[in-house]
């Protein structure tokens, strides 16, 4: 599905060259749910930008759903993003002036669907995230979790090949985060390919594959995990985090 | 002391702000000053046209229109030009403090003693002597002639400059169309805007006359009529007009007391009625008295085209204000972060408002200066396009002040909404 | 393009949008009315006068010496002037007149048939008929077209102190006013006996074309002191050559004369309309400035709007919008504003037209002009917003993943 081979991304400022990604290789198969972790500044954001065709790269090969992306024109990249990728951002990135419906509808318009097809897809997607009744609301009238679910609906509506989630629960409290994660897991069970960047080791554990980016390179989790302080601690915090989230859920109930 | 330093601080901030976005502020100043400049130039024209040229007694001076045309086809009803005998009948009344009966003529003038044969085209006012006191004509040398007949004249400053280089020419003799007349008085530069005593025939913005000659003498010499005249009969020259139905004289009277107006009116009406009773005219009794400002209004001395253009310039200025407003809005939006920061470290809303106002006042001052220069330019330009208004194109001090005020007001007006918005940014920033 | 959503987002910034729309509307209103004014003036200048305006030269002059009070002397000098002028090469014919055609005022008088003096009550224009005192050469000099009867001749000339009215030539519209379709020849008017009718020439442009009432009498020698205008018919192409010689020729006959102006009839006509033309040009100048200011505003508006939308443009790009989609999005938004502005501008145009008509005469706006002016606004606006729009479409999609 996604195949990166020796990707390098170099940021050039006046005096310094920064290798955000160096010889980065990753292969994600259809139906996988991959969590990408790593300390801040490790290059995981750059990885996501490159994977999502938002940013270009300097060296290497990248194949997305059988299409080799290097050398593609800007318009072709736009088309690939629109058709093959569904984005879920940390801060939802909904357009505040638009209703829920118009937000989900927006990428479909760029796809060129007719009105009835768009309507069908928008309704279906909102159904899936449980917000079908709120389609007239503005984003500001919804809670953070609901907004993120709208963003997921927007990503799903185009029936993408792959979902790219960038810290999807970063701005949410644990209960809402839970709901969002469950939706993602459900989608994965239905066969969706998901790559999720996260700093939360608990979330990383839940998924079927876990990769770590350090200094712009892919680190084999199993090899480096014991040496990594955060991963070492993660074992202890899992149960605590889960019990905390349950406690909160009780409170809310 | 504290507010003093804060004011200076605000000034420095404003200057910094200008320096930070020079193009934007330049555009704001440019558009606002063009708008103010155009309007100010127009207002200068309108001001010249609409002003009262003799405010000290404009309410006491009356121009007389009468309705004495001998048949039922008068050119106008009533007419602003009168027959010789009608005019004389008015002067015979002792109601007015003084009166002036005159017509406009023109002669070619040269110094009779000069060797040069060069003659100067001169506008003539052939008038009764009451004219000078009635119009407050300012004498530089000598005095008015005392009678309506006599080979004496008063000359204006311009002609005196041309022929006698501005020296005291009282006692000198001018050759006017072959006749020799002696100068008894010389006027100071005399500007009447509008030329209230003769605003008809589009003369409201002509200069005052070059030569003032006794009425009877001018008639005797056959100096032709250079303004509107109407006659019910044929005549060969003005010499014959005294007892004919030739209408060409204008009459002004000065009343010592405005309350005498009804008395004068009935005097005129009586006179007309007597003529009518004698079968000399078939028309309705319709005599009109207009004081200076009424007479200027009747004659529409304010150029309608300039008024139309003033209207357009007002619209233009509003467009300029809208423009400045949207430019400032984008500027304040760009400075949102800084505003938030200042608010965070304790600047009150009032401080921010003062800072914004200081900036727009400063902007207004700069705009005003440019606007005044531009309005002078536009005035010159307008006169290029409308040469008829040349004598009007003056920027009086009053207008300079007005221009400055306009610039300040427009500058502040265009900053009002952006300032209001800028202060709201900070509130939402605090909420976050 | 989601127009409904666009409208909604315009509503959210109603102040700035409203300002721009108002500006556009005012600009359009002024633009259309200024163009109308300019077109009106041009039409006036281009109207047919019935005269060969380019090849007719006018000399206006006045004697400066008292000698001219002797009318015999005056007459002899004028006769000599006319003789000398007619001998200049390029001059086909010379005449003189008391007043010029294409003028508002001048020497006016009542004209009626002696049998029907009451007619002046029915047609007020008859009270302001133009009375031309001229000589027998006028028909030749102005190339008047004879419709019936004959031109004036030397025999029609009256002498000093004559108390007869003599023979007159009248214009076609005057003939129609007095005698309808019948013949006017031999009829007695208060101004004289009609011996001929000529086709109308433009006498007073401020009154209707069918009210150009004029009477021509061969009496200028009788009233020589009002013969202020010499008229010269010039062979095509010779105007400048003759113009340069006129002053010297006249002054050589007698130097004590003030020559005010030597101009072609076309220049005289231009002078007549100079105030109108000046006003129209001032209006157009103001329009230019206004379009300039409005263009700046359009630029500032989209620049401001875009600076606030940067993030959302990035999101759109991330979700698959192509550069041209964004370009179209920004332009559509502007076009929508312009459309509303132009629609409001239509109202503004009509209102402004009515307002201006209180002060000056002005034709009514027509729809073609409105469309044309709207096109100008659209083009000017699009050019002004093209740079910000292109800049916007270049916003990289990667902005979407940046957290604020």
Give pLDDT, residue B346. 67
Name the fold adopted by A28-50+74-252. Rossmann fold (3.40.50)
In this prediction, residue B428 carries a pLDDT of 47
> What residues in C contact A81, CB-CB < 8 Å?
318-320, 397
pLDDT band at B430 (very low <50, low <70, confident <90, very high): very low
Q: Are the Cβ atoms of A102 and C2 closer than 8 angstroms?
A: yes
The answer to whether the Cβ–Cβ distance between C398 and A54 falls below 8 Å is yes
Instruction: Name which of B31, B177, B334 is nearest C296 (Cβ-Cβ).
Output: B31
CA distance C399 to chain A (A): 8
Query: pLDDT of B213-222, one tens digit each?
Result: 999 999 999 9
Q: Which residue of B has its CA nearest to C24?
A: B319
For residue C40, the distance in angstroms to the closest alpha carbon of chain B comes to 14
CB atoms B320 and C20 under 8 Å: no
Mean pLDDT of B25-42: 92
Which chain C residue has its CA at the smallest distance from A110's CA? C321
The whole-number pLDDT of residue B332 equals 78
Task: Lowest mean pLDDT of C9-13, C179-183, C336-340, C392-396, name the range.
Answer: C9-13
**pLDDT per position as a tens digit, C363-381:** 999 899 999 999 988 998 8
In this prediction, residue B188 carries a pLDDT of: 96
For B:169-208, CB contacts with C below 8 A are: 175-179, 201
Predicted confidence band at C388 (pLDDT cuts at 50, 70, 90)? Answer: confident
Q: Is A touching B (3+ C-beta pairs, cut-off 8 A)? A: no
Angle ∠(C262,C266,C267) on CA atoms, nearest 5: 45
pLDDT of residue A239: 34
Mutation pick from A79, A109, A147, A164 vs chain C, by most beta carbons of C within 10 Å, is: A109
C394 touches chain A (CB under 8 A): no
Asked whether the predicted pLDDT for residue C261 surpasses 50, the reply is yes
Q: Do B308 and C360 touch (CB under 8 A)?
A: yes
What value does the mean pLDDT take over residues C322-342? 89
- Taking contacts as CB-CB distances below 8 angstroms, the residues of chain A near C396 are 54-55
Sheet with strand A2-12: strands edge to edge: A17-28, A2-12, A59-64, A67-68
- The pLDDT score that the predictor gives to residue B3 is 54
Q: Is the pLDDT of residue C252 over 90?
A: yes
Cβ proximity of C184 and C148 under 8 Å: yes
Q: Looking at residue C121, what is its pLDDT? A: 85
Strand partners, C91: C234
Q: Is the pLDDT of residue B145 over 60?
A: yes
Q: What does the pLDDT read at residue C7?
A: 77
Q: Which chain B residues are within 8 Å of C69, Cβ to Cβ?
A: 177-178, 222
Q: Which of C8, C319, C403 sits opposite A106 (nearest CB)?
A: C319
Cβ–Cβ of A110/C398 closer than 8 Å? no
pLDDT, tens digit (0-9, with 9 covering 90-100), for C65-103:
888 888 899 999 999 999 999 999 999 999 999 999 999
Q: Which stretches of chain A are DSSP H helices?
A: 44-51, 74-84, 100-111, 115-128, 144-157, 174-189, 201-206, 221-224, 229-252
Q: What is the pLDDT of residues B231-280, one digit of tens each?
A: 888 887 899 999 999 999 999 999 999 999 999 999 999 999 999 999 99
Is residue A198 within 8 Å of residue A37, measured between CB atoms?
Answer: yes
Nearest to C322 among A75, A87, A166 (CB): A75
In the predicted model, is pLDDT for residue C253 greater than 60? yes
Collect all residues of chain B within an 8 Å Cβ-Cβ radius of residue C289.
34, 38, 316
- Between residues 332 and 361 of chain B, which touch chain C (CB distance below 8 Å)? 333-334
Q: Are strands C192-198 and C167-171 parallel, antiparallel or unpaired?
A: parallel
Interface test with C, best of A20, A54, A82, A157 (most C CBs within 10 A): A54
Query: Which stretch of DSSP H or E encloses residue A6?
Result: strand A2-12
Predicted local distance difference test score (pLDDT) of residue A122: 93
Mind telling me how many Å the CA of C186 is from chain B's nearest CA?
23
Task: Give percent above pLDDT 90 in chain B.
Answer: 64
- Out of B305, B319, B387, the one facing C293 most closely (by C-beta) is B319
pLDDT at A252: 41
The span from the CA of A184 to the CA of A163, in Å, is: 9
What is the model's pLDDT at position C118? 87
- A4: β partners: A26, A62
Cβ atoms of residues B324 and B410 within 8 Å? yes
Instruction: List, for residues B70-93, the tens digit of each pLDDT value.
Output: 988 888 889 999 999 999 999 999
Residues of C in contact with A49 (CB under 8 A): 398, 401
Per-residue H/E/C for chain C: CCHHHHHHHHHHCHHHHHHHHHHHHHHHHHHHHHHHHHHHHHHHHHCCCCCCCCCEEEEEEEECCHHHHCHHHHHHHHHHHHHHHHHCCCEEEEEEECCCCCCCCCCEECCCECCCCCHHHHCHHHHHEEEEEECCCHHHHCCCCEEEECCCCHHHCCCCCCCCCCEEEEEHHHHHHHHCCCCCCCCEECCEEEEEEECCCCCCCCCCHHHCCEEEECCCCCCHHHCCEEEEEECCCCHHHHHHHHHHHHHHHCCCEEEEEEEEHHHHHHHHCHHHHHHHHHHHHHHHHHHHHHHHHHHHHHHHHHHHHHHHHHHHHHCCCCHHHHHHHHHHHHHHHHHHHHHHHHHHHHHHHHHHHCCCCCCCCCHHHHHHHHHHHHHHHHHHHHHHHHHHHCCCHHHHHCCC
Interface of C with B in 232-271 (CB under 8 A): 256, 258
pLDDT given for residue A222 in this prediction: 44
User: In the 3-class helix/strand/coil scheme, how is A98-165 assigned residue by residue?
Assistant: CCHHHHHHHHHHHHCCCHHHHHHHHHHHHHHCCCHHHCCCCHHHCCHHHHHHHHHHHHHHCCCCEEEE
pLDDT in tens, chain A (253 residues): 889 999 998 888 777 888 888 888 999 999 999 999 888 888 888 898 999 998 888 889 999 998 999 888 888 999 999 999 999 998 888 988 888 998 999 899 888 889 999 999 999 999 988 898 988 998 989 998 899 999 999 998 988 989 999 989 888 888 888 988 999 999 899 888 999 998 888 888 888 888 888 888 887 554 333 333 333 333 333 333 333 333 343 344 3
Evaluate if residue B364 carries a pLDDT over 80: yes
Nearest residue on chain C to B223, judged by CA atoms?
A: C69
**Partner-chain contact C318 A75, CB within 8 Å:** no
Average pLDDT for residues C271-298, to the nearest whole number?
A: 91
pLDDT at B348 over 50: yes
Neighboring chain B residues of C282 at a CB cutoff of 8 Å: 309, 382, 385-386
What does the pLDDT read at residue B251? 97
Distance from CA of C317 to the nearest CA of A (A): 7
Q: How many Cα atoms sit within 13 Å of A54 on the Cβ side?
A: 26
The distance in angstroms from the start CA to the end CA of chain B is 36
- Say how far apart CA C142 and CA C151 lie, in whole Å: 12
User: Which chain C positions have a beta carbon within 8 Å of A54's beta carbon?
Assistant: 317-318, 396-398, 400-401
The confidence score (pLDDT) of residue A247 equals 38
Residues of C numbered 362-401 whose beta carbons fall under 8 angstroms of chain B's beta carbons: which are they?
none
Tokens matching residue B162: 């041309």
Question: C308 contacts in B (CB within 8 Å)?
Answer: 333
A109 touches chain C (CB under 8 A): yes
Residue among A78, A90, A93 whose CB faces C322 most closely: A78
Scanning C30-69 for CB atoms below 8 A from B yields: 30, 34, 62-69
> C161 φ, ψ to 5°?
70, 10
Residues of B in contact with C22 (CB under 8 A): 322
pLDDT at B4: 63
* Ranges B290-294, B301-305, C323-327, most confident: B290-294
Alpha helices in B223-303 (DSSP H): 261-277, 292-298
Q: Please judge whether B385 and C225 are an interchain contact, meaning their C-beta atoms are less than 8 angstroms apart.
A: no
Q: Does the CB of C403 have a partner CB in chain A at under 8 Å?
A: yes
- The kind and range of the H/E element at A61 are strand A59-64
Residue A236: predicted pLDDT:
34
Top-confidence residue, B137 or B22: B137
What pLDDT does A226 receive?
35
Min Cα–Cα distance to chain B from C90, Å: 32
Looking at residue B344, its pLDDT comes to: 67
Give the model's pLDDT for residue B431. 41
Cα(C99)–Cα(C230) distance, integer angstroms: 10
CB B324 within 8 A of CB B98: no
- Helix residue spans in B335-348 (DSSP H): 336-344
Q: What percent of chain C has pLDDT over 70?
A: 98
* pLDDT of residue C399 exceeding 90: no
- The per-residue pLDDT for B77 is 86
Chain C: nearest CA to A131, how far in angstroms? 20
Chain C residues in contact with B316 (beta carbon < 8 A)? 30, 286, 289-290, 293
Report the alpha-carbon distance of residue C366 to residue C350 in Å, rounded. 10
User: Are C23 and B319 within 8 A, CB to CB?
Assistant: yes
Predicted confidence band of residue B356 (pLDDT cuts 50, 70, 90) = confident
What is the tens place of the pLDDT at every residue in C123-139?
989 988 999 999 999 99
- The pLDDT tens digits for B115-128 are 888 899 999 999 99
Q: C166 near C186, Cβ under 8 Å?
A: no
């Amino acid at each position: 599905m996604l195949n990166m081979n020796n990707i390098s991304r170099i940021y050039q400022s006046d005096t310094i060259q920064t290798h955000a990604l160096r010889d980065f290789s990753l292969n994600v198969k259809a139906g996988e749910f991959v969590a990408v972790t790593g300390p801040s500044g490790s290059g995981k954001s750059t990885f996501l930008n490159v994977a999502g065709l938002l940013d270009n790269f300097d060296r290497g090969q990248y194949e997305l759903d059988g299409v080799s992306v290097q050398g593609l024109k800007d318009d072709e990249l736009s088309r690939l993003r629109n058709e093959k990728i569904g984005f879920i951002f940390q801060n939802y990135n909904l357009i505040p002036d638009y209703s829920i419906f118009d937000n989900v509808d927006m990428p479909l318009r760029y796809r060129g669907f007719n009105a009835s097809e768009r309507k069908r897809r928008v309704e279906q997607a909102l159904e899936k995230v449980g917000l079908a009744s709120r389609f007239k609301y503005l984003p500001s009238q919804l809670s953070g979790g609901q907004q993120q679910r709208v963003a997921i609906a927007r990503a799903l509506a185009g029936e993408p090949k792959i979902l790219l989630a960038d810290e999807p629960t970063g701005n949410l409290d644990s209960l809402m985060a839970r709901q969002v994660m469950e939706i993602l897991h459900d989608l994965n069970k239905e066969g969706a390919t998901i790559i999720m960047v996260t700093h939360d080791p608990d979330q990383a554990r839940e998924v079927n594959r876990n990769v770590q980016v350090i200094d712009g390179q892919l680190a084999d989790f199993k090899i480096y995990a014991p040496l990594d302080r955060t991963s070492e601690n993660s074992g202890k915090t899992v149960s605590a985090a889960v019990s905390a989230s349950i406690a909160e859920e009780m409170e809310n109930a | 002391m504290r507010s003093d330093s804060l004011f200076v601080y605000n000034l420095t901030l404003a200057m910094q702000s200008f320096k930070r976005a020079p193009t934007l502020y330049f555009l704001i100043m440019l558009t606002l000053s063009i708008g103010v400049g155009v309007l100010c130039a127009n207002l200068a024209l309108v001001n010249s046209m609409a002003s009262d040229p003799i405010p000290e007694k404009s309410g006491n001076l009356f121009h007389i229109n009468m309705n004495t045309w001998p048949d039922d086809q008068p050119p106008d009803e009533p007419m602003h030009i009168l027959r010789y005998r009608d005019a004389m009948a008015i002067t015979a009344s002792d109601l007015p403090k003084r009166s002036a009966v005159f017509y406009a003529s023109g002669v070619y003038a040269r110094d009779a003693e000069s060797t040069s044969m060069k003659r100067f085209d001169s506008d003539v006012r052939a008038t009764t002597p009451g004219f000078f006191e009635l119009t407050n004509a300012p004498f530089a040398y000598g005095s008015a002639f005392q009678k309506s007949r006599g080979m004496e004249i008063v000359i204006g400053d311009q002609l005196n400059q041309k022929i006698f280089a501005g020296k005291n020419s009282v006692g000198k003799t001018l050759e006017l169309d072959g006749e020799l007349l002696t100068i008894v008085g010389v006027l100071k530069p005399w500007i009447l805007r509008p030329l209230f005593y003769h605003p008809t025939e589009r003369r409201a913005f002509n200069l005052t006359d070059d030569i003032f000659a006794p009425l009877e003498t001018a008639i005797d010499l056959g100096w032709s009529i250079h303004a509107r005249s109407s006659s019910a009969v044929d005549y060969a020259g003005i010499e014959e007009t005294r007892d004919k139905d030739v209408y060409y004289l204008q009459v002004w009277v000065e009343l010592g007391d405005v309350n005498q107006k009804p008395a004068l009116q009935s005097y005129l009406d009586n006179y007309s009625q007597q003529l009518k009773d004698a079968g000399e005219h078939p028309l309705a009794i319709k005599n009109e008295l207009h004081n200076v400002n009424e007479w200027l209004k009747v004659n529409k001395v304010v150029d309608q085209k300039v008024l139309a253009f003033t209207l357009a310039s007002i619209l233009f200025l509003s467009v300029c204000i809208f423009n400045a407003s949207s430019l400032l809005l984008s500027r304040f939006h760009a400075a949102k972060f800084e505003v938030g920061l200042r608010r965070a470290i304790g600047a009150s809303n009032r401080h921010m408002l003062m800072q914004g106002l200081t900036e727009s006042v400063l902007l207004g001052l700069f705009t005003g200066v440019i606007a005044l220069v531009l309005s002078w330019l536009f005035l010159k330009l307008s006169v290029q396009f409308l040469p008829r208004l040349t004598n009007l194109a003056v920027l009086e001090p009053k207008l300079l002040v007005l221009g400055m005020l306009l610039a300040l007001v427009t500058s502040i007006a265009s900053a009002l909404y952006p300032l209001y918005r800028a202060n709201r940014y900070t509130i939402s920033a605090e909420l976050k | 393009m989601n127009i409904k959503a666009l409208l909604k987002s315009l509503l959210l910034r109603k102040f700035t949008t409203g300002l721009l729309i108002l500006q556009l509307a005012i600009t359009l209103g002024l633009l259309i009315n200024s163009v109308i004014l300019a077109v009106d003036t041009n039409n006036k200048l281009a109207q047919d006068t019935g005269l060969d305006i380019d090849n007719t030269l006018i000399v206006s002059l006045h004697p400066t010496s008292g000698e001219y009070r002797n009318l015999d002397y005056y007459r002899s000098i004028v006769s000599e002037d006319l003789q000398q002028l007619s001998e200049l090469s390029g001059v086909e014919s010379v005449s003189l007149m008391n007043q010029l055609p294409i003028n508002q005022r001048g020497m006016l008088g009542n004209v009626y048939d002696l049998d029907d003096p009451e007619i002046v009550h029915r047609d007020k224009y008859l009270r302001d008929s133009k009375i031309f005192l001229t000589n027998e050469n006028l028909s030749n000099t102005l190339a008047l077209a004879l419709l019936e009867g004959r031109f004036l001749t030397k025999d029609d000339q009256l002498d000093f102190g004559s108390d007869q009215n003599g023979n007159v030539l009248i214009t076609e519209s005057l003939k129609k006013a007095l005698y309808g379709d019948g013949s006017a020849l031999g009829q007695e008017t208060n101004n004289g006996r009609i011996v001929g009718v000529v086709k109308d020439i433009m006498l007073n442009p401020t009154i209707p074309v069918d009210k150009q009432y004029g009477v021509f009498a061969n009496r200028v020698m009788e009233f020589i002191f009002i013969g202020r205008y010499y008229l010269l018919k010039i062979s095509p192409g010779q105007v400048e050559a003759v113009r340069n010689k006129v002053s010297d020729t006249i002054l050589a006959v007698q130097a004590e004369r003030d020559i005010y102006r030597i101009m072609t009839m076309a220049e005289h006509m231009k002078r007549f309309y100079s105030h109108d033309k000046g006003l129209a040009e001032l209006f157009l100048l103001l329009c230019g400035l206004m379009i300039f200011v409005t263009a700046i505003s359009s630029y500032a508006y989209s620049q401001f709007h875009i600076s606030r939308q940067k993030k959302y443009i990035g999101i759109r790009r991330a979700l698959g919008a192509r550069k041209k989609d964004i370009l179209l999005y920004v332009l559509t938004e502007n076009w929508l504003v312009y459309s509303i502005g132009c629609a409001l501008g239509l109202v503004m145009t009509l209102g402004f037209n009515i307002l201006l008509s209180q002060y000056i005469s002005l034709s009514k706006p027509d729809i073609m002009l409105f469309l044309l002016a709207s096109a100008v606004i659209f083009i000017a606006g699009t050019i002004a917003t093209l740079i910000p729009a292109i800049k916007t479409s270049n916003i990289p999609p990667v902005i979407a993943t940046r957290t604020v």
